[in-house]
Amino acid sequence: MATINEILSLKKERRATILAHNYQIAEVQDVADLVGDSLELSRAAARLDCDVIIFCGVDFMAETAAILSPQKTVVLPARGACCPMAHMITPEQLCDLKSLHPEAAVVCYVNSTAEIKAESDVCCTSANGVEVVASLSEDEVIFVPDRNLAAYVARHTKKKIIPWDGYCYVHDRLTAQDVTTARALHPEAEVLVHPECSPQVIDLADFVYSTAGMGRHANSSSASEFIIGTEIGMIHRLKKENPSKEFYPLSENAICQNMKKTDLDLVLRALQTLEPRVSVPEQIAVRARRSIERMLAVKV
């Protein structure tokens, strides 16, 4: 409690806003000003009126905030909290792919480095990948780095999607057998899965959503039980917003180690020291910003 009070008073003093991704631990979600998916948090970072953003999430999210708000101090409380998928493609590999497909537009999932965003035409998140691809005039689209989100988008477009072979280890290891087992245990439950899951898991799901989409669906559905195919941090928010409904993780092993690195002590230290700070060199940021802003202009 002492830590929470210190965080709240220091937050005011610093004119700071605490943003937390849906996968953060419960205590961190509860102290945040806004808990959301990647798209909601990017939108917030672009419009916030504050001096400091404490970004409880992973590296690419804090980088996106720093790109959109270069005048603000952006702090990632857990040093080195990264998304392994974002590092599965290098700018050199993307440039090689672009030279193989010179007519193709390049869409990069926001789970990517600033350098990859700078080399892309437009970003997307799991909430708007289909709409972003539909907004392009090109018929061929290079889609990096997530092969599973690429395959999901490919189901919803006639365009040729050229995927990169990256993946999220948390979602990719969820299996069709996990779905079958969970359905047998909870036959009345609706199955909601994230588009980072494999096509085999998506085939067996009732609905496919970003984490924010899962939240909206659970709030409005008449069902009272849900099997949740994403990182288990999501369950906290779903239960909090829907205390009369039941939520079961598709797998207890769906844990993103990097998302779990942030705790209240680190949030407090981040507010005290304004470190570890995240910034992006302006020559990269200017090109990455164009890709992110182009995404933010797409209506979902």
Using CB under 6 A, which of 31, 78, 256, 268 touches ligand SF4?
256
- Residue 70 per-residue DSSP state: T
Using CB under 6 A, which of 170, 205, 284, 285 touches ligand SF4?
170
- Strand residues in the chain grouped as ranges (E): 16-21, 34-36, 52-56, 73-75, 105-109, 122-124, 140-144, 160-163, 190-193, 207-208, 225-229, 246-249
User: Closer to ligand 13P at the Cβ: 86 or 270?
Assistant: 86
Q: Does 22 bind ligand 13P (CB under 6 A)?
A: yes
Using CB under 6 A, which of 128, 210, 262, 291 touches ligand 13P?
210
Q: Which helix (H) or strand (E) holds 300?
A: none
Binding track, positions 47-86, relative to ligand SF4; x by CB under 6 A: -----------x------------------------xxx-
Find all residues with CB under 8 Å of 230, minimum gap 6, and list them: 23, 171, 192, 193, 194, 196, 211, 214, 250, 254
- Rounded least distance, CB 37 to ligand 13P, Å: 3
Q: Does 118 bind ligand SF4 (CB under 6 A)?
A: no
Distance between CA atoms of residues 163 and 85, nearest Å: 14
- Rounded least distance, CB 139 to ligand 13P, Å: 26
User: Closer to ligand 13P at the Cβ: 108 or 268?
Assistant: 108
Distance between CA atoms of residues 272 and 124, nearest Å: 33
Q: Does 234 bind ligand SF4 (CB under 6 A)?
A: no
